[in-house]
Structure 1
Amino acid sequence: MLASQDPLWQHQLGLLLESTGEGIFGVDLDGHCMFINRAGAAMLGYEPAEVLGHNMHWLTHHSHADGSHYADTDCPIFNAFRQGLGCRIDSEVFWRRDHQAFAVEYSSYPILDGAEVRGAVITFVDITERKRTADALQRAKAELEERVAERTATLSATLAQMRELSAYLDRVREDERTRIAREVHDELGSLLVALKMDVNWMDKRLSEQQSRDAVAAQDMRNRMRSKCQNMSGLIETAVDNVGRIITDLRPSILDHQGLWAALEWQAQEFVRAAELALDWQMLVDDDLALPDAAAMAVFRIFQEMLSNVGRHAQASRIAIYIQATPQQLEVRVQDNGVGAAPQAFEAPTAYGVQGMRERARHFGGSLEITSQIGLGSTFHLRMQLSNLLSDE
Structure 2
Amino acid sequence: VPYGDCLCGRVAESGELLMSESCFTDTRHERRYGGMQAHGHYIVPLKTKGDALLGVMFLYTNTHPSWYQHSQEVLLSIGGLVADAIKHSLVKEELARYRNQLEELVAERTGDLNQANILLRKEVEERASAEHQLKIIREQLRNLSNHLQNIREEEKTRIAREVHDELGQSLTALKMDLVCLKQELPGLQPDLQERIQTMSGLIDSTITSVQRISSELRPQILDVMGLCEAISWQAREYQKRTTLRFDLNCEQVSINKELTTELFRIFQEALTNVVRHSRADRVCVSLHQNAEQITLEIGDNGQGMPPEKINAPQSLGLIGIRERVLFFGGEVEFQGEPGKGTRVIVKTPLKP
- Aligned pair partner of 1:273 in 241, 266, 271: 241
Residues 348 and 187 of structure 1: is their aligned pair in 2 closer, same or farther, counting only changes over 3 Å?
A: same
Q: Deviations over 1:287-308 (max 9, x none)?
A: x421000000011101111111
Residue 257 of structure 1 pairs with residue 225 of structure 2: yes
User: Match of 2:301?
Assistant: 336
Q: Which runs of 5+ in 1 are unaligned?
A: 1-6, 15-32, 45-93, 95-103, 106-123, 211-220
From 105, 115, 138, the equivalent of 1:159 is 138
The CA distance in 2 between the partners of 1:289 and 1:274, in whole Å, is 31
Q: Hey, what's the Cα distance between the residues in 2 that align with 1:42 and 1:223? A: 122
1:188-236 C-alpha deviation (Å, 9 max, x unpaired): 1111111122222222223x234xxxxxxxxxx2222211111111111
State how far apart, in whole Å, the 1-side matches of 2:291 and 2:172 are: 43
Between 232-241 and 221-230, report the one with greater CA deviation: 221-230
Deviates more, 1:33-42 or 1:181-190: 33-42
Provide the C-alpha distance between the structure 2 equivalents of 1:269 and 1:258, rounded to a whole number of angstroms.
17
Higher alpha-carbon deviation: 329-338 or 273-282: 273-282
Give the drift of 1:274.
Answer: 1.6
Could you give the per-residue CA deviations for residues 237-290 of structure 1, whole angstroms, max 9, x where no partner exists? 1111111111111100011111121122212222332222322222x3x4x421
1:248 equivalent to 2:226? Answer no
Q: Is 1:383–2:351 an aligned residue pair?
A: no
Q: Would the alpha carbon gap of residues 133 and 202 (structure 1) be closer, same or farther in structure 2, given more than 3 Å must change?
A: same
Structure 2 stretches lacking a partner, 5+ long:
1-45, 55-87
Q: Is the 8 A contact 2:231 2:264 kept in 1?
A: yes
Return the alpha-carbon distance in structure 2 between the equivalents of residues 148 and 198 of structure 1: 72
Q: CA deviation at 1:336?
A: 1.2
Asked if the contact 2:228–2:287 (Cα under 8 Å) also holds between the matched residues in 1, the reply is no
Higher Rg of the two aligned structures: 2
Q: Compute the displacement of 1:340 (Å).
A: 2.5
**Pairs within 5 Å for 1:220-231:** 221-231=189-199
Alignment of 1:132-171 (within 5 A): 132-171=111-150
Tell me which amino acid in the other structure corresponds to 1:325: N
Q: Is the counterpart of residue 234 in structure 1 residue 193 in structure 2?
A: no
Q: 1:38 to 1:245 in 2, by over 3 A?
A: same
Q: Measure, in 2, the Cα distance between the counterparts of 1:290 and 1:13.
A: 97
Partner of 1:235, secondary structure, is helix
The change in CA–CA distance for 1:13 and 1:130 in structure 2 (over 3 A counts) is: farther
How far the C-alpha of 1:39 sits from its partner, in A, is: 7.1
- Counterparts of 1:289-300 in structure 2 under 5 Å? 289-300=254-265
The percent of aligned pairs where both chains have the same amino acid is: 33
- What is the rounded CA distance, in whole Å, between the counterparts of 1:39 and 1:301 in structure 2? 78
Q: Structure 2 vs 1, CA of residues 126 and 328 (structure 1 numbering), >3 Å: closer, same or farther?
A: closer
C-alpha contact 1:340 1:373 (8 A) present in aligned 2: yes
Contact 1:365-1:382 at 8 Å conserved across structures: yes
User: Quick check: which one's strand share is greater?
Assistant: 1
CA distance 1:126–1:351, shift in 2 (3 Å): closer
Moved over 4 A (4+): 7-14, 36-44
Structure 1 residues 139 and 310: CA distance shift in structure 2, 3 A = same
Alignment of 1:1-392 (within 5 A): 34-35=89-90, 105=102, 126-206=105-185, 208-210=186-188, 221-282=189-250, 284=251, 286=252, 288-385=253-350, 388=351, 390=352
Does the aligned pair in 2 maintain the 1:339–1:376 contact within 8 Å? yes
One-letter amino acid of the counterpart of residue 187, structure 2: Q
RMSD across aligned C-alpha pairs, in angstroms?
A: 2.6
Residues 1:323 and 1:126: Cα distance change in structure 2 (over 3 Å): closer
Q: How far apart in 1 are the matches of 2:171 and 2:155?
A: 22
Structure-2 change in CA distance of 1:203 and 1:128 (3 Å) = same
Number of positions where the alignment pairs a residue of Structure 1 with one of Structure 2: 274
Partners of 1:182 and 1:188 lie apart in 2 by: 9
Q: 1:239 and 1:134, CA in 2 relative to 1: closer, same or farther beyond 3 A? A: same
Secondary structure, counterpart of 1:289 in structure 2? coil
Q: Return the alpha-carbon distance in structure 2 between the equivalents of residues 259 and 358 of structure 1.
A: 20
The one-letter code of the counterpart of 2:166 is: E
Residues 142-166 of structure 1 show CA distances to partners (whole Å, capped at 9, x for unaligned) of 1110110111111011111111111
